[in-house]
Structure 1
């Protein structure tokens, strides 16, 4: 899928991205109900997460950067769906885009790169949990062939309010 934001490049995440990725994720922790983490993380606390996404295999971290400044614009991941062995061919995917880079096709660019990388892996299904409301994320996932399979009602509480999470799946 072509991106509307040609000035961005996507590559696997590296340890040098840790501070920028942590800062981006912390924005979503502090300002939104998109993630159910409630306390900002330090780069050191986030390091195991980064290291759990190598350049190959089913658990990937793809990073979009500005072609000129190399500033991180967003990232997409595929992570273990659940820890039990029988879930090994399923992944949970997510996308986080810098607030000042939204609506420029960065999420599309990231997911396109992620799913191309996963095409060569032994992965059967991708799942995505979307904290509601989040129309932009629902549109992005529909664009990539995800279908709604159910909603967990009031499954988490953030900012003093219970939140629903819609679950989507895609065959790979």
Structure 2
């Protein structure tokens, strides 16, 4: 297995994993599957903004076994040092350590980019994902009861956070006037 940056040819595999999660799990709180044009737009937006989209592939087949990414935590300037991430593994390859390898690479990427905090919003009932995050040092910092729904039931959102560095203060920035928001 090889971990690398995703290329356009990987989007079919990413789309398959995403759609399987939509149809069968509460890992993604969407109820509609996506098409290839959607994933292409998503991938371009992420990579053009400097965010990673990583894949785990079998080199001989170029089959996508899992993918990981992060993007903005929230859209406001004050959150620029924090990112929210996602890690997904094809259902027939779960339990093989692929998610952990993708997570490790994603965390290292965030540190190299100078990010300060990585946040995961996880279905509170997804014990496997929560355990994976805890193994990497994430800690639960919040629980939001019944903020989502899927498959005819309310879902609780667990917020997990990993602080990526030990800086006491954020990098200096010059405050500038901007257009009204």
The two structures have a TM-score, normalised by structure 1, of 0.91
Cα distance in 1, alignment partners of residues 144 and 40 from structure 2: 30
Map of 1:39 onto structure 2: 32
Count of matched residue positions in the alignment of Structure 1 and Structure 2 = 164
Q: Which residue of 2 aligns with 1:23?
A: 16
* Distance in 1 (alpha carbons) for counterparts of 2:116 and 2:94: 30
Q: Distance in 2 between matches of 1:148 and 1:55?
A: 31
2:155 aligned with 1:163: yes
The 4+ residue runs of structure 1 with deviation greater than 3 A are: none
Structure-2 residue corresponding to 1:152: 144
Which of 100, 105, 114 pairs up with 2:97?
A: 105
Structure 1: give runs of 5+ residues left out of the alignment.
1-7
Alpha-carbon contact 1:147-1:168 (below 8 Å) kept: yes
Post-superposition shift, 1:46? 2.1
TM-score, length of structure 2 as denominator length: 0.86
Structure 2 regions of 5+ residues with no counterpart?
A: 165-181
Q: Deviations over 1:110-151 (max 9, x none)?
A: 011111222211211000011131111011101111000011
3-state SS in 2 of match to 1:52: helix
Between the aligned partners of 1:78 and 1:90, the Cα distance in structure 2 is 10
Residues of 2 paired with 1:171 and 1:103: CA distance? 26
Considering Cα pairs closer than 8 Å and 6+ residues apart, tell me whether 1 or 2 has the greater RCO.
Answer: 1
CA RMSD of aligned residues (A): 1.4
Classify 1:46/1:56 alpha carbon distance in 2 versus 1 (closer, same or farther; 3 Å).
Answer: closer
Highest Rg: 1 or 2?
2
* Deviation, structure 1 residue 56: 8.5
**What is the aligned partner in structure 2 of residue 72 from structure 1?**
64
